[in-house]
């Protein structure tokens, strides 16, 4: 009985090491799978981060190209107007040329008729071999008319040549004007783009440690919470600190922009969709415009020229995020800064 019991206990004890090995193997497999999952998550996060950065750069380039396209369209419109005026002048000159040519043709017909009459009269006089005093006077008169007509034709031809020369000069002036306008506009666009890139670079350095500030297209975007308290258009202490940095950078860049480059810093105020109706702000239009004006007034107090600043309020009508979540509302409450041409 004692021997049988001991053998039974040994058989039960032999199951335990196998069970421990199975649990260890299972634990190792789970650890391995977790490690693989963490690596996959890391690489996926890196890939998504790279894609978001590329998308932001692409959006910035698209916005800049949109501004350049709008400027080019305005330039083309001005050039078309200049060309239309030149074409009207050319049309008038062409009409004058046609009138001159018609007069010259009429004079030539009259000259041919006079010469025919002289020839007929000469033939008649040769046949009769007698000239009366009246016939001689008529012949002299006809000769004088022929001389006058020839002089008139010469004057008309000279006027025609001069008009054609002016037409060619005007065509050359139009072509030269188009080239000069395109070159000047391209140069201004390049200069403004260069200073805008430099200004954005300075702002990136200044605000690189400030969370929430982002670049959307060709604009720097400040969340309203950084600059203002809720439902207020008065700059808070944190907002003034950030705007002082911005004013220093803007004054430094403005001092080096040529005077003939007509630039402005546009300050756009935006709100979320939540309605507001207070004695101070009857609508989101009032709140967004008041916040933009507060930023402009503070920048002026920091030495930024007032004629280089523009304040605009957009209310809730140009959201960055169309959603109805608190995060979407937070993104849409913002101040946007854009260096552009007036």
- 117-121, 239-243, 293-297: lowest mean pLDDT where? 117-121
Could you tell me which residue, 106 or 1, shows the higher pLDDT?
A: 106
**What is the average pLDDT across 281-289?**
95
- Its pTM stands at 0.46
Gap between the Cα atoms of 296 and 298, Å rounded = 5
**What is the average pLDDT across 317-326?**
92
**What is the average pLDDT across 250-262?**
79
What pLDDT sits at residue 91?
A: 75
What pLDDT sits at residue 206?
A: 55
Written as six digits, the tokens of 294 are 């507060």
What pLDDT sits at residue 336?
A: 93
**What is the average pLDDT across 161-176?**
72
**What is the average pLDDT across 244-252?**
87
Using a 10 angstrom Cβ sphere, with 0-12 exposed, 13-18 middle and 19 or more buried, the burial of residue 62 is: exposed
Q: In the predicted model, is pLDDT for residue 311 greater than 90? A: yes
- Share of residues in the chain with pLDDT > 70 (%): 72
Q: How sure is the predictor about 234, in pLDDT bands with cuts at 50, 70 and 90?
A: very high
What pLDDT sits at residue 6?
A: 53
Q: In the predicted model, is pLDDT for residue 150 greater than 60? A: yes
Q: Calculate the CA 285 to chain-centre distance.
A: 26
Element (H, E) at 228: none
Backbone angles phi, psi at 278, to 5 degrees: -125, 165
Task: Tell me how crowded residue 78 is: count the other CB atoms within 10 A of its CB.
Answer: 12
Backbone angles phi, psi at 334, to 5 degrees: -155, 165
Q: Tokens 């800049």 sit at which residue?
A: 64
Tell me the pLDDT of the chain averaged across its residues.
77
Gap between the Cα atoms of 71 and 74, Å rounded = 5
Q: In the predicted model, is pLDDT for residue 131 greater than 70? A: no
Strand partners, 265: 309, 339
**What is the average pLDDT across 79-95?**
74
**What is the average pLDDT across 134-144?**
72
**Opening angle at CA 220, ends 312 and 299, nearest 5:** 60
What pLDDT sits at residue 236?
A: 94
Per DSSP, which regions of the chain are E strands? 214-216, 219-223, 263-270, 309-313, 334-341
Helix and strand totals (H; E) in the chain: 7, 5
């Amino acid at each position: 009985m004692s021997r049988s019991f001991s053998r039974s206990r040994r058989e039960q004890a032999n199951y335990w090491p196998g069970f421990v090995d199975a649990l260890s193997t299972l634990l190792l497999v789970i650890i391995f799978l977790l490690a693989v999952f963490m690596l996959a998550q890391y690489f996926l996060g890196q890939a998504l981060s790279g894609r978001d950065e590329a998308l932001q750069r692409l959006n910035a380039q698209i916005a800049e190209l949109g501004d350049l396209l709008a400027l080019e369209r305005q330039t083309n419109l001005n050039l078309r107007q200049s060309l239309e005026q030149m074409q009207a002048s050319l049309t008038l000159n062409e009409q004058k040329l046609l009138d001159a040519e018609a007069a010259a043709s009429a004079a030539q017909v009259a000259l041919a008729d006079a010469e025919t009459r002289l020839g007929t009269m000469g033939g008649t006089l040769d046949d009769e071999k007698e000239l009366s005093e009246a016939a001689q006077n008529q012949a002299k008169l006809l000769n004088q008319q022929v001389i006058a007509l020839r002089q008139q034709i010469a004057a008309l031809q000279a006027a025609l040549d001069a008009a054609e020369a002016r037409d060619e000069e005007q065509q050359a002036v139009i072509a030269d004007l188009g080239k000069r306008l395109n070159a000047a506009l391209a140069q201004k666009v390049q200069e403004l783009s260069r200073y805008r890139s430099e200004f954005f670079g300075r702002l990136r350095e200044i605000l690189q440690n400030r969370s929430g500030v982002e670049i959307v297209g060709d604009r720097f975007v400040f969340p309203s919470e950084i600059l203002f308290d809720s439902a207020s258009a008065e700059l808070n202490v944190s907002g003034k600190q950030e705007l002082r940095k911005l004013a220093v950078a803007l004054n430094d860049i403005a001092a080096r922009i040529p005077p003939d480059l007509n630039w402005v810093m546009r300050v756009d105020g935006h709100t979320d969709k939540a309605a507001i109706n207070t004695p101070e702000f009857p609508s989101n239009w009032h709140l967004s415009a008041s916040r933009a004006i507060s930023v402009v007034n503070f920048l002026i107090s920091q030495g930024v020229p007032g004629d280089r600043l523009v304040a605009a309020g957009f209310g809730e009508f140009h959201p960055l995020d169309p959603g109805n979540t608190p995060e979407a509302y937070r993104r849409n409450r913002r101040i946007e800064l854009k260096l552009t041409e007036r």
